[in-house]
Amino acid sequence: MDIDPTKILVRYNVQKEKAQTPDQMAAEMFPKDEPAKSIAKAIFEGEEDDVIEGLEKAIEKGANPIKLIDDVLMPGMKIVTDLYDQGVVFLPNVMMSADAMLEGIEFCKESAGSAPKPKGKVVCHVAEGDVHDIGKTIVAALLRSAGYEVVDLGRDVPVDEVIAAVKKESPMMLTGTALMTTTMYAFKEINDRLLEAGIKIPFQCGGGAVNQDFVASYQLGIYGEEAADAPKMANAILAGKGLAQLKDMFHKH
């Protein structure tokens, strides 16, 4: 008996999966305009030199290097993480792309030249036990580019070290990043230890492991959905906003 398999129930994306290679899927997601398109392609391919070349061209044509981080590098990286989430590309690809993007961020920061006197100091860290530091690096880069001095404690930072750094540096705010659900509880501990020491600075926490409900469950916690929320919050603190007002601004009701 002749059976035409396409007439039987076929999972809606099976044909699509077979019809397209990862490169083709990515190509459909790249921005349409140059230089964003070439730079996104270079990030996808993990080609650092091409990322820098694209950025150089854009800056020569008058683009603001700091805006390029937000408008071009981050959306380029998002294509790779979206494809990772769909199971189209794998971790080594993500790593190569992330390296290329981080090189790009460094280049943009250097091209932006020397910063004026810092507006304030921020301590950034990745939770104890967690090595995922790409988001934190973006947060630190955006804060620096917005004129803040950043004390970057790095990744997998023990709670004791975070508390010691806050006592030493007296920052206007602290940031935490956690991508693993097993590491996020360190934030609550940091909150309790800061309060015990009488330190009431806003503690903005982000990364895939945490959500607003979790972060709002501790007194100093303010949820940060995107890296760009960090300089926004620093600016709000400078404008005199207190903890309650910050929660109001950054938490969805």
CB of 87 or CB of 240, closer to ligand B12: 87
- Rounded to the nearest whole angstrom, what is the least distance from the CB of residue 231 to ligand B12 in the complex? 9
- Rounded to the nearest whole angstrom, what is the least distance from the CB of residue 167 to ligand B12 in the complex? 20
Residues contributing to the site for ligand B12 (CB under 6 A) = 81, 84-85, 91, 94-95, 98, 129-136, 138-139, 175, 177, 179-181, 204, 206-209, 224, 226-227, 229-230
Whether the bond between 35 and the residue before it is cis, its omega within 30 degrees of 0, is yes
- Backbone phi and psi for residue 19, each to the nearest 5 degrees, phi listed first: -75, -25
Note whether 121 and 70 are within 8 A (CB): no
- Rounded to the nearest whole angstrom, what is the least distance from the CB of residue 204 to ligand B12 in the complex? 4
CB of 57 or CB of 251, closer to ligand B12: 251
CB of 119 or CB of 136, closer to ligand B12: 136
- Rounded to the nearest whole angstrom, what is the least distance from the CB of residue 6 to ligand B12 in the complex? 32
CB of 57 or CB of 91, closer to ligand B12: 91
CB of 63 or CB of 96, closer to ligand B12: 96
CB of 5 or CB of 92, closer to ligand B12: 92
- Rounded to the nearest whole angstrom, what is the least distance from the CB of residue 250 to ligand B12 in the complex? 9
- Rounded to the nearest whole angstrom, what is the least distance from the CB of residue 163 to ligand B12 in the complex? 18
